[in-house]
């Protein structure tokens, strides 16, 4: 009887190790797949960064023109707060 219990315990331990090894193998496979996906997303983000570098100087010019327009409207009517700018005029009272 004692030998049977020892044998069943050993079988149970072996089965537990096999099941845990299977879960670990599945986890490794999932992590590798996830790594490829993250790498692909990183490539897309780098591409967007390269493409948007060209837009920066143009947007600065557009933003400056818009700030000037907001400042002109704000100082002309007294109802608007001037936009943040180093060349912003003081509010008209």
Tens-level pLDDT at each residue, the chain (93 residues): 999 999 999 999 999 999 999 999 999 999 999 999 999 999 999 999 888 888 888 888 888 889 989 988 877 655 555 555 554 444 444
pTM value > 0.75: no
d(CA 43, CA 70): 38
Exposure string over 59-82, b if 16+ CB within 10 A, otherwise e: eeeeeeeebeebbeebeeeeeeeb
The whole-chain average pLDDT of the chain stands at 84
């Amino acid at each position: 009887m004692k030998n049977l219990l020892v044998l069943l315990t050993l079988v149970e331990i072996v089965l537990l190790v096999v099941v845990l090894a299977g879960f670990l193998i599945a986890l490794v496979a999932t992590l590798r797949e996830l790594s490829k996906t993250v790498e692909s997303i990183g490539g897309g983000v780098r591409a967007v960064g390269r493409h948007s570098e060209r837009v920066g100087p143009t947007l600065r010019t557009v933003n400056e023109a818009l700030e000037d327009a907001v400042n002109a409207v704000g100082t002309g009517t007294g109802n608007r707060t001037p936009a943040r700018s180093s060349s912003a005029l003081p509010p008209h009272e």
